[in-house]
Structure 1
Amino acid sequence: ARHDAMEIPSCSEGTRTQLIEDVCAWAESKSSPPVFFLSGVAGSGKSTVAKTVCSRLESKGLLGSSFFCSRRMTPEQRNVRSIIPTLVYHLSLRAPSFAAEVRKALETNPGSETAVLEQQFRVLIGAPAKAAFTGDTALVMVIDALDECDDIEATFNFLSIVLREIPRLNLKVLATSRPEPRIRDKFGEPGSQLLRLQDIDSDIVEADIREYLTKELSRFQDNWPSPRDIEALVSRSQRLFIYAATACRYV
């Protein structure tokens, strides 16, 4: 599903600012690697960051398409074979010239939409993108939560294809995932950039969580929660935004 079809919150204003700026700077740079991996443990806020980045890139005219994987939603959202057709569909809506090339590709190669992943990518994304996207600016395809796909070997294969084919195209890919073993094997390969959320300084993460808690709990009056209460929640969160978000929903 696209980012705006998911019930995932965007980052609270004033939080994750440097991280989001760094990802957007990567997207806008003509010299940055074409693939950006954002890695983090469960609950660290990867999907929230990805959704916020999608909105930011969309406002800049740089978002080509997005696919948010999820085990909790429909079977298609945890099937790696759904990713390429969805990306192609939204790229086609974004760029009529790309859509025209996809139509030509399907006429020449009928059945490619159900072919093996490598043929899907080359026929439906690779060839149309080479013909349609010839300008200086690369559109970004955002793929969130790859670890939530059911078939880990197919996901590994998909990442191998992306890393091999994307450098030949005027496209970029932002992919997020937990550091699962097979997926982690692809992090940091040539042509890619890796940012691990656990490597961000603890002071920065705690300041973001503090800002989030302060804003979310400001609806309460009578000086509750106190600054001391906020600090206790920050400490208990252990750098995990999901803890802070759950605490806010609970109260």
Structure 2
Amino acid sequence: MPSNQPDLSSTANVSSYYDIVGKQTNITVQGDVNEINIFNQHSNVHEALISGLRGDLNPSDFDGDGCPECLEDTRKGTLQSIYQRVDASTYPNVLLLVGEAGIGKSTIATTVAGEYQKSGQLGCQIFFQRGRSHPGNVLQTIAYSLAVYNESIAESLVEKLKKSGDIGSSDLRRKFEILLRDPLSIVATKVGHPVLIVMDALDECGTPELRQSLLEVLRDRLPSLPANLRILITSRPGADIDSLISKPSFQTMTLDQSSEESKVDVAAYIKHQFDRMKSSGN
């Protein structure tokens, strides 16, 4: 399971402490005020960096349509295996979850993303949709999301872009180096804990022809990212996706419709739907 990270963005503890204790020395109060001022300054700097990066990178909206999470007590074995593989640096940093249509890949991806969001470890979530997702802007969107997630990443990315100049005409391999590999490598030790990137339904990102270059870059370059950058990719199997499955530097999990877990979860889902119909009076 994702570990709970301290919420460095919260200012609630200062006021709550003052309310509970009631009596504090002026020195302590002044110290808290200084901490708040420092936090506000950092917040303003981060917002300015993000504003500039938004204009430079023009990230896409890959949020999806609000896919539900797994029902309670379903997919427990699969989820536990994913958490274990994501959290342990002894595993390769890329995990590919493969399964046929309708087996629940997006539901699992949403659940995993939600858990890491709660623990402050979700750096980026992308939910591709057929006909609405283009592979040409994926790397920019990941880089932007990670910059929003962490100020050190934002600073490193801005510095790299300044040195690199306009990357509009660069090929995807060069963009990967500028947007992800180089800036992330510089600040990896500052981030420390595992940070998860979720890419759901990769097979729905453009046509096989359009996403060929992106898949090649993901296949060859993702393993070069710092070990604490963990990536979960879900996809249907397919000729182009198989090039990722066969990569030894990728972990692969295959969802099996005939597994005992799948059968139990299908029964739980059917019961859940019937219960909903009863409660709504249909």
Q: TM > 0.5 between the two?
A: yes
Tell me the alpha carbon deviations over residues 64-112 of structure 1, each in whole angstroms, 9 at most, x when there is no partner: 112111125x4xx2x1112111111110011100000111111111222
Q: Secondary structure of the equivalent of 1:50?
A: helix
Matches within 5 A, 1:18-33: 18-33=77-92
| Selected match of 1:138 from 194, 202, 212 | 194
| Aligned residue in 2 for 1:236 | none
| Selected match of 2:238 from 156, 180, 183 | 180
1:46–1:220 distance in 2 versus 1, CA, 3 Å? closer
CA distance in 2, matches of 1:196, 1:95: 32
Tell me the alpha carbon deviations over residues 29-59 of structure 1, each in whole angstroms, 9 at most, x when there is no partner: 0101111111111111111111111111222
* 8 Å Cα contact 1:28/1:137 also seen in 2: no
Q: Please list every run of 5 or more consecutive structure 2 residues that lacks an aligned counterpart in the other structure.
A: 1-60
Percent identity reads 27
* 8 Å Cα contact 1:39/1:179 also seen in 2: yes
Paired letter, 1:175: I
Matches within 5 A, 1:1-251: 1-3=61-63, 6-72=65-131, 74=132, 77=133, 79-112=134-167, 115-134=170-189, 136-170=192-226, 171-198=229-256, 202-221=259-278
Higher mean C-alpha deviation, range 155-164 or range 203-212: 155-164
CA distance in 2, matches of 1:169, 1:149: 22
**Deviation of residue 220 (structure 1)?**
4.8
* 8 Å Cα contact 2:62/2:128 also seen in 1: no
Paired letter, 1:125: L
CA distance in 1, matches of 2:221, 2:183: 13
Q: Secondary structure of the equivalent of 1:176?
A: strand
* 8 Å Cα contact 1:113/1:124 also seen in 2: no
RMSD, aligned CA? 2.2
CA distance in 2, matches of 1:161, 1:139: 20
CA distance in 2, matches of 1:60, 1:152: 35
CA distance in 1, matches of 2:205, 2:74: 28
**Deviation of residue 154 (structure 1)?**
4.5
Moved over 6 A (4+): none
Structure with larger Rg: 2
**Deviation of residue 121 (structure 1)?**
0.8
CA distance in 2, matches of 1:12, 1:101: 39
**Deviation of residue 201 (structure 1)?**
5.2
Q: Please list every run of 5 or more consecutive structure 1 residues that lacks an aligned counterpart in the other structure.
A: 223-250
**TM-score, length-scaled by structure 2:** 0.71
**Deviation of residue 113 (structure 1)?**
5.2
1:108–1:221 distance in 2 versus 1, CA, 3 Å? closer
1:2–1:62 distance in 2 versus 1, CA, 3 Å? farther
Q: How many residue pairs were aligned?
A: 218
